[in-house]
A and B are shown apart, each in its own frame.
Chain A
Amino acid sequence: MRAVTLASIRAHLPRLVASTLAIVIAVGFVVATLVLNETTKATVLEAAGAQYVDTDVVVTSDSGSGLGELVAPLTELTAVAAVDPTWQTSVQAVVPGRTGAQYLQVDSVAADPQLRWQQLAAGELPTRAGEVAVSERVGAGVGDVLAVTVYTDEGTATTADVTVTGVVDLGGDPSAGLYGRAFSTPEQAQAWGATEPTELRIAGPRRTDPGLLADEVRATLSGEDVVVRTGSEQATEQVAALTGDATWLTTVLLVFATIAVVVAGLVIANTFAVLLAQRTRDLALLRCIGATSRQVRRSVLGEAVLTGLAASVLGVLAGVGLSAGVSALVSRTESPIPLSGLSVPLYAVGVGVAVGTLTTLLAALAPARAATRVAPLAALRPTDPVPFRSRGGVARLVAGLLLVVPGIALMAAGVVGGQLLVALPGGVLSALGGLLLAQRAVPPVVAAAGRLVSRFGGLPARLATGNATRNPRRTAATATALLIGVTLTTAMVVGAASTRATAQAGLAAAYPTDVVVNGNGTELPASLVAQLGSVDGVVATTTLIGGTVTGPDGWETWALGVDPAAALPTLRSTTDTTLPETGQVALSTWLRESWGASVGDSVTLTAADRSRTLTVVAGDSDAPLLNETDLGALVPDAAGDTLWLRLADDADQRAAIDEVTDVAGAAVPTAFVTGLASERAAIDEVVDVLLLVVTGLLGVAVVIALIGVGNTLALSVVERRQESGLLRALGLTRGQLRGLLAWEAVLVAGVAAVLGVLVGSAYGLVGAASALAEVGDVVISIPWLQIAAIVVVATAAGLLASVLPARRAARTPPVAAIAAV
């Protein structure tokens, strides 16, 4: 029988290759997921944890104090070779050629060379005060002189020139692009305001066991309020803080991979069923000449295992290749996904091969069982296949309903209660039930859709409807594969649209102003307002006046005055930012606590001999926010202190912010510009990229399913060779024959797409409503255009899948088909 198995694979190789494409893609997806995940982890660990790579032990303190005193006792330990206290502070710096100041985070460079982790792209690390190395984001080169401004606790500014000695490459550190970094000597960092080390990095002698050293440090520091970790523990901690929960990402990716595998399994099962149905006579002949049904089954399953194995190996290669491509592409562009190099874990290869082979084997089990039921006599009967109807399936119907009904109930409960953990199992239950029901639901829907298209599609459409419904089980399986892909893609798109709308509302509340220009103690002249108003991209401006008032606690504080009518157009949201009317003052939670006042209370503010009693409303700005008239009454000489600008949605916001920075810096050298718009845009971009990636991942499932549509059609074409011949003899033109198959593909793909979009939209809305309830008010958004695009693309792709089979069918001369009886 082994010879038969091998000969059969050889004979059907072209068809098997086409069929197993689904497995190749699914396995490739699984492997690429695992490899990319591993690579991302390695990259982030390497970049974000760079400063801990050569560090054996890290000591941090939650209270942020007291670390300085621990340096001496630790240095005395014999197991410790070097201790480096890291000093961290921040400064404002002006880069030559730019007038605006930028924020720099300053870290000290270790005195001991062993603990220096900075990778230099150019120049060298600073060795004395007045020197810094900067990250690439700063935009300065070696030899440039930066004007660095530092504010003392009293608020006085001192500015000094420092020389750039080197440029540090932060590699794939995800935060590298957010703000500039500077590296100075510990003394310089302290001179700039660092008062306490943020952490102690400790190195032991060569080949120290970090775990043992950590234990020893822990013993020495017992009683102190500190956390002692090994360098790699600290790096992992850092990565987790930066990327969120890394296991969450892996889980999500693997869920998508599982979906791809399930879809591929459906496609493969269908393909095998059709392939074996066509070989009924071959198999019956084998039985006639003495093969037992066990031998037939073993031969069929052997064929499945061998094809599955070959496809899996190809899939693994494809997955690794894909990862390499993605990694190479991503590392060359600025992307929020950290990827460099390639880490191929052995388990990814093993999992890929095992998943692919097992899926193929499992998918072939049912068709193989059917094949063994072939009676030897079938070999002798003429092949006049009676269109068979799917039998019973009552158990399937009952099981499906038993899953769907409670599933929907759970989802409803999840939406009402805003509980994702209730809706999620409901979604899983109903999806499983839906899969069972799809087998029954799809064929009638296809038939109904067929009656609809028959009206205007003419005879080819009517014949196509008949063909699509004559083997309901096969049609259902083909459509189900596509249905899964479309459902999930739609759920994702709809869910993401609502998530995005909700997130945007949240972001707008958190960052209501696009750009804030602050005079830093210098009055902002009215001419600047006019200048900024004419900057390309700026659509609205308002001036807030500032003045010193004395609060109920007796301390002087800087207060701002706003004109609500003028300010409103500059704000994207007033959810968290209250614009005070006359007689009101908006205080942040922190200010309310320190003044001992709650919302609705009255507070009295004084300035010189004037005073005003105002009602407290909730706000979130650092300074008390008054109405312009109240502040003007308290401080008659209050002048323009802060500007709020709003940018056009379609403007190049980064360019606009840069221009605002330059214009403001030229007019008022101390002016400081904060571009919250770019922060919002950055977060928006992350959501966009995530959506794109996820849609792409699910697209794989759709592609696999479409291969299934093409496969089923191709096999049906072979099966219906005689019919095609008869139709051609009776006067069906080649074009009409192609149209027939096109209609069939459109029917199956279109029904799957429409059903999938309906079910998927429901899932997406349920998911968004239940998941986002705890974040805040859910904003429901349905991306009609994208949904329509999904239907059109899936249907058009189904049409495309019919092209090759149709060409093959149309090429058959009528007489060849008739003669092949």
Chain B
Amino acid sequence: MSVPVMTVPGESPASLSAAVRATDLRKTYGSGETAVHALAGVDVSFDRGAFTAIMGPSGSGKSTLMHCLAGLDAATSGSVWLGGTELTGLRDDQLTKLRRERIGFVFQSFNLLPVLSAQDNILLPMQLAGQRPDRAWMDAVISRLGLRDRLRHRPHELSGGQQQRVAVARALLPRPDVVFADEPTGNLDSQAGAEVLDLLRSSVRETGQTVVMVTHDPVAAAYADRVVLLADGRLAGEVHQPTTDSIINALRGLGA
């Protein structure tokens, strides 16, 4: 089921329901003949308290979009808003502080610092920001993720699924405005992957966390409330209340 893209006009920062949104976002590598348009004018908005998946074939620009939305990479033009803050134009240090205070990350691999214990890894962003975690909340997160007896372990002593759960805990602990997950199940077997996705979804359902996930796996995307489809650097459709089948159908429509 593919529907026309619903865009939110950029002039209305009052659209409070959006946690993150981008208007006419462009990212170009190189110039002239050899220029590659990774993002060719994307307008997109992600609702607060929702679990959204970004999908698309390889080279569709989904990772670039996420990097730009998360303040990891600067767009060539267009603007990105995180709540009421415009990211485009912020200096490196301001972006860095914004990331550690308001954004959580879960990457595909190499999520944890090998020299730190699981607990230190979880606390890392808050310590970087010089904040103390809320003990009750921290206990809740750790219990929910089943990490209680793994806190003292170093990453290489943990299984892939455990490592990824530590990364999820780290992302959730500061209660960020949004958690970006980049192929969080890419390196996991299906059972560990399902556990991680369940955790992400329950954090949205139970605590109202906003999660944006980039994936190319329709099964993973089916955990989301909405799927945004990307192709050749442009939005190519959306699927609401997706199922694996509806996503595969939508992707087929893209010619992927």
Q: How far is the CB of B112 from chain A (nearest CB, A)?
A: 8
Interface status of A726 (Cβ within 8 A of chain B): yes
Asked whether A726 lies within 8 Å of B115 as measured between CB atoms, the reply is no
From B93-101, B204-212, B223-231, give the one contacting chain A: B93-101
Asked whether B63 lies within 8 Å of A722 as measured between CB atoms, the reply is no
Of B99, B109, B113, B156, the contact of A731 (CB 8 Å cutoff): B99
Cβ contacts B62-88/A at 8 Å (1 or 0 each): 010001001011000000000000000
Asked whether B128 lies within 8 Å of A722 as measured between CB atoms, the reply is no
Asked whether B128 lies within 8 Å of A387 as measured between CB atoms, the reply is no
Interface hits, B101-128 → A, CB 8 Å = 101, 105, 107-111, 113-116, 120, 124-125, 127-128
From A226-234, A253-261, A629-637, A811-819, give the one contacting chain B: A811-819
Q: How far is the CB of B63 from chain A (nearest CB, A)?
A: 7
Asked whether A729 lies within 8 Å of B115 as measured between CB atoms, the reply is no
Asked whether B72 lies within 8 Å of A815 as measured between CB atoms, the reply is yes
Interface status of B129 (Cβ within 8 A of chain A): yes
Q: How far is the CB of B176 from chain A (nearest CB, A)?
A: 10
Asked whether B96 lies within 8 Å of A384 as measured between CB atoms, the reply is no
For the complex, give the distance between the alpha carbons of A387 and B112 in Å: 13
Interface status of A80 (Cβ within 8 A of chain B): no
Of A467, A731, A821, the contact of B100 (CB 8 Å cutoff): A731
Residue of A723, A730, A814 ringed by the most chain B CB atoms within 10 A: A730
Given known A-B contacts A463-B116, A732-B128, A387 and B156 have beta carbons under 8 A apart = yes
Q: How far is the CB of A66 from chain B (nearest CB, A)?
A: 85
Asked whether B92 lies within 8 Å of A734 as measured between CB atoms, the reply is yes
Cβ contacts A305-345/B at 8 Å (1 or 0 each): 00000000000000000000000000000000000000000
Residue of B92, B107, B110 ringed by the most chain A CB atoms within 10 A: B110
Given known A-B contacts A730-B128, A731-B129, A815 and B114 have beta carbons under 8 A apart = no
Q: How far is the CB of A508 from chain B (nearest CB, A)?
A: 58
Cβ contacts A461-505/B at 8 Å (1 or 0 each): 011001101100000000000000000000000000000000000
Interface status of A11 (Cβ within 8 A of chain B): no
For the complex, give the distance between the alpha carbons of A591 and B134 in Å: 94
For the complex, give the distance between the alpha carbons of A733 and B124 in Å: 13
Interface status of A459 (Cβ within 8 A of chain B): yes
For the complex, give the distance between the alpha carbons of A535 and B72 in Å: 77
Of A386, A726, A735, the contact of B107 (CB 8 Å cutoff): A726
Contacts of A730 in B (CB 8 A): 99-100, 105, 124-125, 128, 170
Q: How far is the CB of A727 from chain B (nearest CB, A)?
A: 7
Asked whether A470 lies within 8 Å of B63 as measured between CB atoms, the reply is no
Of A466, A726, A814, the contact of B111 (CB 8 Å cutoff): A726
Closest A residue by C-beta to B163: A384
For the complex, give the distance between the alpha carbons of A462 and B127 in Å: 11
Given known A-B contacts A384-B109, A470-B114, A727-B113, A818 and B72 have beta carbons under 8 A apart = yes
Asked whether A722 lies within 8 Å of B110 as measured between CB atoms, the reply is yes
Contacts of B73 in A (CB 8 A): 813, 815
Q: How far is the CB of A44 from chain B (nearest CB, A)?
A: 58
Interface status of A781 (Cβ within 8 A of chain B): no
Interface status of A548 (Cβ within 8 A of chain B): no
Given known A-B contacts A387-B115, A467-B115, A726 and B110 have beta carbons under 8 A apart = yes
Of A459, A470, A733, A814, the contact of B72 (CB 8 Å cutoff): A814
Interface status of A382 (Cβ within 8 A of chain B): yes
For the complex, give the distance between the alpha carbons of A726 and B113 in Å: 8
Interface status of A598 (Cβ within 8 A of chain B): no
For the complex, give the distance between the alpha carbons of A728 and B67 in Å: 13
Asked whether B72 lies within 8 Å of A729 as measured between CB atoms, the reply is yes
For the complex, give the distance between the alpha carbons of A729 and B103 in Å: 9
Interface status of A736 (Cβ within 8 A of chain B): yes
For the complex, give the distance between the alpha carbons of A532 and B154 in Å: 80
Closest B residue by C-beta to A459: B127
Interface hits, A185-242 → B, CB 8 Å = none
Contacts of B108 in A (CB 8 A): 821
Q: How far is the CB of B95 from chain A (nearest CB, A)?
A: 9
For the complex, give the distance between the alpha carbons of A813 and B97 in Å: 15
Contacts of B110 in A (CB 8 A): 384, 722-723, 726, 818, 821
Of B107, B116, B154, the contact of A818 (CB 8 Å cutoff): B107
Asked whether B127 lies within 8 Å of A733 as measured between CB atoms, the reply is no
Of B128, B154, B170, the contact of A736 (CB 8 Å cutoff): B128
For the complex, give the distance between the alpha carbons of A469 and B124 in Å: 19
Asked whether A731 lies within 8 Å of B128 as measured between CB atoms, the reply is yes
Contacts of A735 in B (CB 8 A): 93
Q: How far is the CB of B158 from chain A (nearest CB, A)?
A: 12
Q: How far is the CB of B38 from chain A (nearest CB, A)?
A: 12
Asked whether B116 lies within 8 Å of A729 as measured between CB atoms, the reply is no
For the complex, give the distance between the alpha carbons of A723 and B111 in Å: 9
Interface hits, A721-760 → B, CB 8 Å = 722-723, 726-736
For the complex, give the distance between the alpha carbons of A223 and B187 in Å: 101
Closest B residue by C-beta to A733: B96
Contacts of B93 in A (CB 8 A): 733-735
4 further A-B contacts with Cβ under 8 Å, apart from A731-B128, A821-B109, are: A459-B124, A729-B107, A730-B100, A730-B125
14 pairs, A vs B, C-beta closer than 8 Å:
A384-B109, A387-B156, A459-B128, A466-B116, A726-B111, A730-B100, A730-B105, A731-B128, A731-B129, A734-B92, A734-B96, A814-B72, A818-B182, A819-B63
User: Which 6 residue pairs spanning A and B have beta carbons closest together?
Assistant: A731-B100, A466-B115, A815-B72, A815-B73, A731-B128, A733-B96
